[in-house]
Amino acid sequence: MYFRMMLWIPTLAYFGVLLTVGHNGFAPTMSITTGFLGALLGLLLAIMFTLRECRRERRITH
């Protein structure tokens, strides 16, 4: 369950940085910002999916 969290956060941070580097007007601060926002989005998605899985397991056992 927590393995998913460890994958989502760096993957989306890396994806955000890659999206920034792909443009011609590359600025280092923009890269840092998109990396941070990608990591934040990854954390929120990981929490959402983990809570969803926990609810699904509780529903099955009851």
- Token look-up 């994806």 returns 15
* CA dist., res. 29 & res. 34, Å (int): 9
Q: What is the pLDDT of residue 27?
A: 75
What is the value of pTM for the model shown? 0.71
Query: Over its length of 62 residues, how does the chain's per-residue pLDDT go in tens digits?
Result: 677 778 888 888 888 788 777 766 667 788 788 888 888 988 888 888 888 888 888 888 76
